[in-house]
Structure 1
Amino acid sequence: MNTFTRIVALLSLSACAGLAPAQQPQPQTEADGIAVKPLSKWRNLQDRQQVDQQAQSQYAALLGEARQKGALVPASHPQVLRLRGIARRLIPYASRWNADAAQWQWEVNLLNSSQVNAFCMPGGRIAFFSGILTTLKLTDDEVAVVMGHEIAHALREHGREQAAKSNVTALGTKLLGAGAAALFGVDPRITGTVADMAAKGLSLHYSRGDEREADLVGLDLAARAGFDPRAGVVLWQKMGALNKSAPPAFLSTHPSGADRIDEMNKHMGEVLPVYARSKGVSAAQLPPYRSSAMAGN
């Protein structure tokens, strides 16, 4: 059974790799910062207008429900003003990563919830949950890194890309499972189960890759807007302290906190000069980053 599982998984990987559209290198537009890569051509397999309409409808429904329950924080609240001010600084740099962002109708809202979460839907529809601000005691720099990360998912069209990959992967693994059943005389129910497991494993891999890209794009956005990218490291140290029972990285749609911190540190030399330039100094002249301790510490 183990040998057969490996065979089907390898066949699935090969088939899906063969279906993946080729990506052409794109020259970087600036000499520093995170290099801009082409948007994944996978996303073209999902209708953009349909995705945008769904996002708009879902976001409106969420705000409507929150308003009914008294959970939509008023626009005059200091935390809403804070979030929108940070967004105004990040948004001008969004089109570097996706030219369509210049036409988006950006929205930023705050929901009164203990959840430690935030998101940005296609079209620039941003929402923060109050729990992420209060539980982690985020500085403006850390808020900018979180917001930049979530904006990056929308800019790089990860949701659209992921939906296309999942559809193709599911179809490919089912076809390979059926073929393997016929070739090896194995019960189709077994190969179907293995195919489903392979598809889920591939989807997790894609999601972790998207998270890593969003981390780096978020740091770049924050740095260009004048926020300290070193806040990303501190942010994930805080998240790590909060999520000590998180699942292993290979079973999660998110890389582990330690992996994320390592990756950020590897690229800090690319984004720190961008931040320093926004402050009119060199990277060597920057003072150490200062954060707020988590609540309860």
Structure 2
Amino acid sequence: MLRRWIRWGGVAAAVLFLAGCQTVRTTQGGAVGVDRGQSMLVSAAEVEQASAQQYAQVIEAARKKGMLNRDRRMLTRVRGIANRLIPQTAAFRSDAPAWRWEVNVIESNELNAWCMAGGKIAIYRGLIDRLKLSDDEIAAVMGHEIAHALREHARERVSQAMVTNLGVSVLSAAVGLGQPGAELMGTVAKVSFELPNSRLHETEADSMGVELAARAGYDPRAAIGLWDKMSAQSNGAPPQWLSTHPSHASRKAELARDAARVMPIYEATRRR
């Protein structure tokens, strides 16, 4: 009898939970035309709060290890590029320029960079040094990562994870078990640092990142050369953090298409 009550209680909770699912459009399409509704089961505010807490922990851990912003010239360079990209986010969503942006460089040899919900950016020194990135290429990396935040891909992935774990998480919430805030932080951390993005998310971030770079006055074609460098460093395969992306040839073709699409924007910006 108890099992039956738990089973039907879980089903009822799941129905109520899914009823709260919203289909939202997080961004405008821009010149590259990214326009897809997203199903969300968790609020933007909750994911932003969890991301800010997780980001603070990562940054503090790097600081304690002496791995945070050690090269002042590199930090100034990276933040300067970010400061040109951030105002351009208004092309996709009007609220984004006013986010509480943070930009830091982590002293690590990893080929890595990320931007958490609400504009919390980290770029790893290894990515810049090992690939000998130009400013245009750094803009391509950062534009790509910023696009993930604009599209709220972390929120979407957290929502998908909640659906996957519905039988446990919904019932736990219904009977008052667990620590929802801590669990949300853990899920945000997992989708941000451990699990690669889906192909769809990577493709959207590529397209929007190219446009952000162009609007900021950086050559959008640099994204193509950047991918060549990443592929060469990874023996022909993408780094783990991009491992779900389509093939090398497919990605280059898509980047070339999008770069051509936004070249008039770049040319107009460069002439100002």
TM-score tier, shorter chain, comes to 0.7 to 0.9
2:142–2:209 CA contact under 8 A, matched in 1 = yes
**Equivalent residues in 2 for 1:138-157 (5 A)?**
138-157=133-152
**Equivalent residues in 2 for 1:31-70 (5 A)?**
33-37=31-35, 40-43=37-40, 45-70=41-66
**Equivalent residues in 2 for 1:103-252 (5 A)?**
103-168=98-163, 207-244=198-235, 246=237, 252=243
TM-score under structure 1 normalisation? 0.68
| Residue aligned with 1:86, SS | helix
Counterpart code for 2:216:
A
Counterpart code for 1:35:
G
RMSD of aligned C-alpha atoms? 3.0
Distance 1:165 1:78, change over 3 A: same
CA distance in 1, matches of 2:44, 2:22: 17
Q: Could you list the per-position Cα deviations for residues 86-126 of structure 1 after superposition, in whole angstroms to 9, with x for gaps in the alignment?
A: 01111111122223313201111001000010000111111
Structure having the higher Rg? 1
Q: Please say if 1:276 is aligned against 2:272.
A: no
Counterpart code for 1:257:
H
Q: Which runs of 5+ in 2 are unaligned?
A: 1-20, 168-194
1:21–1:42 CA contact under 8 A, matched in 2 = yes
Distance 1:254 1:36, change over 3 A: closer
CA distance in 1, matches of 2:89, 2:150: 7
The CA deviation at 1:247 is 7.5
CA distance in 2, matches of 1:103, 1:35: 23
Identity over aligned residues, as a percent? 46
Match of 1:71 in 2: 67
TM-score under structure 2 normalisation? 0.74
CA distance in 1, matches of 2:248, 2:56: 32
CA distance in 1, matches of 2:28, 2:106: 40
How many residues matched?
224
1:239–1:257 CA contact under 8 A, matched in 2 = no
Q: Could you list the per-position Cα deviations for residues 218-245 of structure 1 after superposition, in whole angstroms to 9, with x for gaps in the alignment?
A: 0000000000011000000111111126
